[in-house]
Structure 1
Amino acid sequence: MIVAGVDGSDAARAAVAWAVDDAKRRHEPLRIVHAVNQDPYRFSRFHASPEPELLARMAQDLVNEAAEQAGERQLDVEVSTEIVEGPAAVALREQAKDATEIVIGSRGLGGFEGALLGSVSLHVAGQAHCPVVVVRPEQESVRGEVVVGVDDSPECEPALEFAFRQAELRASTLRAVHAWQPPVQLYAPQVNYDPDDVTAAANQAVAARIARFREAHPQVVVVEDVRRAHPVDALVAASAQAALVVVGSHGRGGIRSALLGSVSHGVLHHARCAVAVVRQ
């Protein structure tokens, strides 16, 4: 089952469109979820809490509208709705135990004007134990490449599997991007190194890393793209012609609200298309 979080924003409507299209490709049902959180009203001295009946009616109207949008876009996808209590980030994270993936908008109604990414999307992408796809309001297209970041870490494996599957479902080219930067000490004049040798070694490492995925998905056309650049810059550049960028999460921290590594965090903020964060 695919879960789409909605709040009435343009980004949420784009997320519903993305989610129902993916549900169609995967032959899975779609669950549309909206969280009703009364905590801001309970703890604010300036705002009176709306009547529970009013909140319930507004929530029902919101999920009904989203379900109608999904049904009009893909007639043969099974669509259900659910209204849950509590903060949106926590409610969506709890959906992960039943979900193939969670799809959310990049910034909801409560975000700061001009912000590229909201706190809910960061929280869910960093903590949900299933793939999380973050969709920008202008990004509904399913055309273009699937881009995946490749490195030598274990976190890369689930991202590769997700990316190959997406490319297979879409009949899209998969671009496997590996970016490398010379260590600081290599800039010392007494150190000699050949960038061509580094690139050749990186090409071999990428080919070895993706070999078993190519074997499992032989119909997927793969472009191995090794660049001398920062990983965020390389993936953001590749996102310009992509329908989806897939990154693994290397977050290690226990106290941060979103357990994301710097690369996945940077790509979420700056990519020009939908981004899937896939944790181990």
Structure 2
Amino acid sequence: MAAGKIIVGFDNSADAKAAARWALDTAELTGAAVEFFYAYQWPDWLPATATIGAPAVQPDGEIDRAVHGMLNEVRASARETHPSVPTDASIVNASAALTLIGRSAEASLIVLGSRGHSGVVGLLGSVSVAVSENATCPVVVVRGVPGPGGPILVGVDDSAPAQAALRFAAEQARLRKVALRVIRAWLPGNGIGDPTPAASLMVTADEQHAFDTLIGSVRADHPEVEITGETVVEHPAAALVRASADAGLLVVGTRGRSPVRGMLLGSVSQHVLRHSAASIAVVHGT
């Protein structure tokens, strides 16, 4: 991942702090800058007068000072722990998801916690899913604190997004000096007129050869990375969630809402966002 700007959704929650640490560690490895982002998301009506139109609620001076103080504090902490990483902060009075999606064009990476106090990180299924689905840069949703040395895990198929995910995963493994584990999974099928692994619940020789060729190519491009590959006939989401137990990061590809087979948000990507034991990176392809 080239140097650039990493944008972190930050609201001072425990998960947002974990996301900030992940982003700062990554920036230290890549030379990127980190921007801590906060969004005020106020309702367009007052709860006490839900049936009567009212102006949007705006943050008062005390709340505004608290938010600025919070962001100043996290930047001060970053200067202590990651002195080589340039940091900045931004505050918007707008939709967190829409703002982050729009700003993804200028970011090298967006990092979110899996839960949070405000709309910045939000409940998974809202901001995290919306940004992961629509951002133009990779999006990482940090879950817990990964143990040191955990491998980078990536799921692949024949789609362009999966190939983009594989490139991202290999680069993360190189930067972090950890192993790369590649999984290719086929959905089990009914086998009627179907000469694929799904038919017999076994990987065919041709499919295994294609996968081995792919692994060989990645090894040639990244000789410094220990790379292992695994082929299975199993739902890709189930295979990846099972394998995520000891991973440092799980990487999947997506085309967002595109109606294509493969690792789609709404199927594999959405499932692992909710169930992976590891942090998740969603990488877009075309």
TM-score where L is the length of structure 2: 0.84
Unaligned runs of 5+ in 2: 50-55
Deviation string 1:95-149 (CA, Å, 9 cap, x unpaired) is 21221100001122148xxx9724111111111100000012x225453000000
> 2:238 is aligned with what amino acid?
D
Q: What is the alpha-carbon root mean square deviation over aligned residues?
A: 2.5
Aligned residues: percent identity? 39
Matched ranges for 1:251-270 at <5 A = 251-252=256-257, 260-270=265-275
CA contact (8 A) 2:256 2:284 kept: no
Q: In the alignment, what sits opposite 1:44?
A: 46
CA contact (8 A) 1:63 1:81 kept: yes
How many angstroms does 1:237 deviate by? 1.2
Specify which of 123, 133, 141 is matched with residue 140 of structure 2. 133
Unaligned runs of 5+ in 1: none
Matched ranges for 1:1-280 at <5 A = 1-38=5-42, 40=43, 42-46=44-48, 49=57, 51-110=59-118, 117-136=124-143, 138-185=144-191, 195-196=201-202, 198-252=203-257, 260-280=265-285
CA contact (8 A) 2:114 2:123 kept: yes
How many angstroms does 1:201 deviate by? 3.6
Q: Distance in 1 between matches of 2:200 and 2:131?
A: 42
CA distance 1:250–1:201, change in 2 (3 Å): farther
TM-score where L is the length of structure 1: 0.85
How many angstroms does 1:79 deviate by? 1.3
CA distance 1:72–1:273, change in 2 (3 Å): farther
> Which SS does the other structure have where 1:278 is aligned?
strand
CA distance 1:99–1:81, change in 2 (3 Å): same
How many angstroms does 1:247 deviate by? 0.1
CA contact (8 A) 2:269 2:282 kept: yes
CA distance 1:25–1:62, change in 2 (3 Å): same
Q: Distance in 2 between matches of 1:85 and 1:142?
A: 37
Deviation string 1:78-100 (CA, Å, 9 cap, x unpaired) is 11111122011112222212211
> Which SS does the other structure have where 2:12 is aligned?
coil
How many angstroms does 1:27 deviate by? 1.4
Q: Distance in 2 between matches of 1:71 and 1:3?
A: 16
Q: Distance in 2 between matches of 1:252 and 1:171?
A: 34
Q: Distance in 2 between matches of 1:26 and 1:172?
A: 15
* Larger CA deviation: 127-136 vs 51-60: 51-60
How many angstroms does 1:221 deviate by? 1.1
Q: Distance in 2 between matches of 1:168 and 1:157?
A: 17
How many angstroms does 1:186 deviate by? 5.2
> Which SS does the other structure have where 2:251 is aligned?
strand
How many angstroms does 1:233 deviate by? 1.0
